[in-house]
Amino acid sequence: MALQCGIVGLPNVGKSTLFNCLSNAKAQAANFPFCTIEPNVGVITVPDERLTRLAEIVHPGRIVPATVEIVDIAGLVKGASKGEGLGNQFLGNIRQTDAIIHVLRCFDDGNVVHVDGSVDPVRDKEIIDTELQLKDLESIESKISKVEKLATMGGNKDAKVEYTVLKAYHDALIQGKSARTVQFDTKEEQQAAHDLFLLTTKPVLYVCNVDEASAATGNAYVEQVREAVKDEGAEILVVAARTEADIAELESFEERQMFLEDAGLTESGCNRLIKTAFRMLNLETFITAGEMEVKAWTYRKGWKAPQCAGVIHTDFERGFIRAEVIKYDDYIRLGSEAAVRDAGLLHIEGKEYVVQDGDIMHFRFNV
Could you state, in order of their start, the residue ranges of all structural domains in the chain?
4-49+61-115+202-280, 132-200, 302-365
Question: What are the binding residues?
Answer: 12-17
CATH number of the structural domain 4-49+61-115+202-280: 3.40.50.300
Question: What are the binding residues for ATP?
Answer: 12-17
pLDDT computed for residue 75 by the predictor:
63
Q: Which pTM was predicted? A: 0.81
SS3 352: coil
For residues 140-161, one letter each, b for 16 or more C-beta atoms within 10 angstroms of the residue's C-beta and e for the rest, the string is: beeebeebbeebeeeeeeebbb
pLDDT computed for residue 34 by the predictor:
37
pLDDT computed for residue 33 by the predictor:
40
pLDDT computed for residue 27 by the predictor:
43
- For strand 320-326 and strand 360-365, is the pairing parallel, antiparallel, or unpaired? antiparallel
Q: Under CATH, what is the fold of the domain 302-365?
A: Ubiquitin-like (UB roll) (3.10.20)
How far apart CA 80 and CA 131 sit, in angstroms, is 6
pLDDT computed for residue 82 by the predictor:
60
Q: Which mean pLDDT values do the consecutive 10-residue runs of the chain (367 residues) have?
A: 81 85 56 48 86 94 89 67 54 83 91 78 92 90 88 81 94 92 91 91 93 90 93 85 84 82 83 88 94 94 97 96 97 95 96 97 93
Starting at the edge strand that comes first in sequence, how are the strands of the sheet with 62-64 ordered? 62-64, 293-300, 283-289, 360-365, 320-326, 347-349
Instruction: Give φ, ψ of 299 to 5 degrees.
Output: -145, 165
pLDDT computed for residue 90 by the predictor:
63
Give the list of residues 6+ apart from residue 127 with CB closer than 8 angstroms, or none: 10, 76, 77, 78, 116
pLDDT computed for residue 37 by the predictor:
42
Domain made up of 132-200: CATH architecture: Orthogonal Bundle (1.10)
pLDDT computed for residue 208 by the predictor:
96
Q: What is the full DSSP assignment across 239-301?
A: E-HHHHHHHHH-SSHHHHHHHHHHTT-SS-HHHHHHHHHHHHTTEEEEEEE-SSEEEEEEEET
Q: What is the full DSSP assignment across 3-20?
A: -EEEEE-STTSSHHHHHH
pLDDT computed for residue 323 by the predictor:
97
**Amino acid of residue 344:** G
